[in-house]
Chain A
């Protein structure tokens, strides 16, 4: 009896000791290995056929209909061009990718190519842990460094230690461009006698006119919590301006309690109090909101250009897209950027094939495939002309304008690893009147301050 108790205790102690031998994550060779891999720039090659029969495991989040079709077409074409490569595609919704990609990258059989979200929560964490390979060498080889605008490349860059976003190492290139903006019902706009709003002030006035005429001004469904970032984001972009938001999100300067942000929160509060947004928006799903707008239930709807193919199909030429400018300006400033960065993982040994694949799905030929399937490519080919008066032409011209005038501001959840959680909950509190604009701003600033301290 006594001996068996002893044995039991010893076993338990041994177990605990095994566990306590090292700190979680510490002592793992991953980061140092990846670090050294970056230094050794073995001869790069664009010759995919030389790699022999290989399988490339690719994780993407291209699950929406239009982009899924494009991705499938591109994958098929790549495998036809290089019969020695088999692509194993793992496609997850954005939310699922966000929760599982980290574990996959850390696993021994990590995928070869992944779509990583920009900013501190994902890309920063991965870079810090050595889970992504810097691709500056391939960017020179394939000419990505000149094919993409500098602003786009900077969004996909980090310092080597993962501590500074928009740093000096490139970790991925993006396939698509994204702008969050306002979709509007053309017939309703004409019916109400409103001219297409240009500034945030025009937009506020249009909301008021629609409301007075008994039309729901702005459809908003926020059960999933993420639409709140977009709605608040486009308002803040117009009140704080491009530089202000960019400095704030990248942690360079400014505070979330500064005037521009509080003003945006205040506007949102005014709109909800006035009934411009549906009551109970936190109980309406984003898809239900989109469907209601598409069915003529409201004048405006805020979402990203990734809705292009769905809304275009549902509403034909009756839907337009615009981005708002700050008061007194005509240059739109809005949330957006590029789609998730296509990156090479730190653990893959098939870097040449991985780079070739990334080039294949982001080059001008790929852009044509993306356009064909109703998507906005990161770089729209100069000779491409969309049908006049179509939603596509609105989206492309907005994209080109904000790129030329540096009017893009990053997604707010890039700010800190916990920011997505903080801001999505806070927007729900704000539109329900649980937070005053100042309380809302304080909540965001508290999160940012905590992160700044830990960096």
Chain B
């Protein structure tokens, strides 16, 4: 698998295979495919240390966001609480395991693995990517990244506890819990982390 003498300034659109010559871009600008308008590349602004800080912050919010209640229901003097994990478990225990697994994957498992994977990638870059096993692990993590970020749906979950709160307000009093704050913070920090993260740029660490 030698690097053939391929002109590295030419890039191909992944959606329509159009060949485009790569040019330097001002920062914050994104190049679109002239034929089908798929995003081609943008100037990578990922700073490794910035990503590390965001990643650690997100991981710090991860456990409380998933274990503390995101909603509290006060009904005739009794208080009910539900965390993200309990929500998934509740539908699963009633036999709706497809729904439970979907909720658990999108709101708990995928975001967690995504954060750990980015942390691993950053640490491997910091270690220099010199040894064979480091490169193999790094490659493997990058290959999984697209799927993991597609499965991560923190933003939708944040909207969903607002919708639930409004729907249940008909029957009872609804309060937000500590988990609500932690989950919203987890979502915000992850959002900034994903903006900072550039998969194309991460792959280019393997070129040198």
The answer to whether A and B assemble together is no
- B residues with a Cβ closer than 8 A to A are none
